[in-house]
Chain A
C-alpha cells in the first residue's frame, strides 16, 4: 500500500498532470519552432528578420527546457530558461546595435550587401 502513495501524490499535487498531452507534444512544438527559425535564418535576407529567427530558435529551446523540467518535476529547466532569456536580451541589445551600425554603412538591411565578407 505504501508504495502506491507517492505516485498518487504525484498525480494529485503540483504540478497538475498532463492530461492527454504528453511530453512528446511539447517537444514536437519546440522542434517545429526551432526548425522554422532555422529555415528563416537560412533563407531570409533582412538582417533584422534573421535575428528574429534566432529568437524563434531560442523560443523552441526554452519550450523544450520547460517541458522537460515539468516532466522531471523539478525547476532546473525553468531556471535555465531564465538564463536563455538573459542571453536573448543581451544578444538583442548588441545585435540590434550592430544592425543599426551596418545600416548606416550601406543604407540597406540586405545581408547580401555584405557578401564581400565571403572573401
Chain B
C-alpha cells in the first residue's frame, strides 16, 4: 500500500506531452464557424488523456488497475468534453448527466455510496432537470430555413485559443503539483483512524444487538453503551460481557479454536486442507496457524456465543475472560486494534458514517447550509416574480440581432 506518487510517471515530459495532446484535441473540438474536423479533436483529446494514464500504468503494472475506474473516468471525461463542445444546449445538458452518472460510479469505487446516490438524485434528478426546463424556456425555436442550426452563439465559441491555453496551463500546474507534493502524504495504513473499524460497537448498539440475535446470540442479551469500554453486552443480569475486543496475542487461541470448530464440521477430506490454509501474522510474516497434528484447545467454557459470519469469527466472552492487558492503560488505542474483522452487518455502512461525521463534527456547517438554501429559495422567488415589460419593437430588434426569428 505504500504509495510513492513521484515514481509513478516514466518522466514528467510524458505527462506534459499527454496534457498538450489533450489540449490540442479540445481546441479542435471547440465549436467554430469554419467546420474543423471536430471528431478528430475528440479522438486526439482522448489519446492525450490515455497517454497520461499509460504513463501511470507502466509504473503501476504490478498491481492490476481497477478496470471500472478507467471505464468511468473515460466516460466521464469524454462526456464532459461533449458538454463544452456540443453546439446544442439540450445535448450538452444530457451529456452532463452522463458525466454525473460516471462520477457517481467513481464515488462508489471510493466507498462513498451515500454520496453517489445523493449525486444522482440531486444532480441528475433535480438540478439538471431544472437546467433542461430553462434551456427549453429560453431557446429560440429553429427557424424555417435552417432547422438544424442553433443560435450563432452556440455554434461559434468565444475565444477557444485562450481558453484552451488557460485550461492546459491550469491542468499542467495541478498535475505538476501532484507529481511533486502528494507523495509526502502518509500511506493510508499508518493513520490511527483504523480504530473506526469497530465504531458501531459504540455508536449503534441497537444495530449490533439485532445482528447478534439474527446470528444466534441469546435473545435476552442487552447491548448497552459503556462509556469506559465502548460496548458491553449483558447476557445475564449482573454479568457484563465484551464482544470481540481482544488484543492480537491473546486472541490467537480463540481464532484457533474457532477455525478448529469450523473444520470439525467439514468433511474429512477438506479438513486438513482447511486447517493448513489458515495463516497467522507474526512479526509481519504470515505463518501457518496450525502446526502439524496440533491439538487445539476448545473454546473456554465461559464463552457465551461463537458466532460465525462467513470466514470471520466473532466471539462473545464474559467479562472475566477479557485479557488482562485490556484492563490497564489505554486499551482502545490503535495499536490495540483486534485482529478480528467484524462482519459486514456489524460495521457502520457509509450512510451511517457520513451521518456521524455530519451531525457530530459539523453541525454548524449543516445549519449554515440550511440558511443558504433558504436564502436561495427566497432569491429565486424574488427573481422569478419580476416582470419584464419589453415593448414589441424592442423584442423584435433583440431577436433580429440575435439571428433568430422574432417570437
Contact = CB atoms under 8 A, between A and B. Distances in A.
Contacts of B369: 82-83, 86-87
A20 B66 contact: yes
A7 B398 CA distance: 66
Contact of B134 (A16, A32, A48): A48
B210 interface: no
Interface in B60-107: 60, 63-66, 69, 73, 76-77, 80-81, 83-84, 89, 92-93, 96, 99-100, 103, 106-107
A5 B33 CA distance: 63
Contacts of A117: none
B88 to A, nearest CB: 10
A38 B110 contact: no
Contact of B153 (A17, A27, A59, A111): A111
Contact of A108 (B115, B156, B399): B399
B157 interface: yes
Given A17-B1, A79-B362, A93-B377, A35 B170 contact: yes
A10 B188 contact: yes
A11 B63 CA distance: 15
Contacts of B52: 28
A116 interface: no
A107 B3 CA distance: 55
Contact of B175 (A31, A46, A83): A31
B64 A45 contact: no
B137 A100 contact: yes
B134 A22 contact: no
B380 to A, nearest CB: 4
A31 B171 contact: yes
Interface string A94-116: 10111111011111111111000
B111 A32 contact: no
- Interface of B, secondary structure class, is helix
> Chain B interface: which size bin?
35 or more
A46 to B, nearest CB: 5
Contacts of B154: 44-46, 49
Contacts of B139: 109
B223 interface: no
A68 B21 CA distance: 27
B245 to A, nearest CB: 13
Nearest to B386: A101
17 contacts: A5-B248, A20-B60, A20-B63, A20-B66, A25-B53, A42-B159, A44-B157, A46-B153, A48-B134, A56-B80, A81-B115, A89-B373, A92-B130, A92-B131, A94-B379, A107-B402, A108-B140
Interface of B: 1, 3, 5, 8, 22, 26, 30, 49, 52-53, 56, 60, 63-66, 69, 73, 76-77, 80-81, 83-84, 89, 92-93, 96, 99-100, 103, 106-107, 109-112, 114-115, 118-119, 122-123, 126-127, 130-131, 134-135, 137-140, 151-154, 156-160, 162-164, 166-168, 170-171, 174-175, 178, 182, 185, 188-194, 196-197, 247-249, 281-284, 334-337, 339, 341-342, 347-348, 350, 353-354, 356-358, 361-362, 365, 369, 372-373, 375-377, 379-380, 383-384, 386, 388, 390, 395, 398-399, 401-402, 404, 407
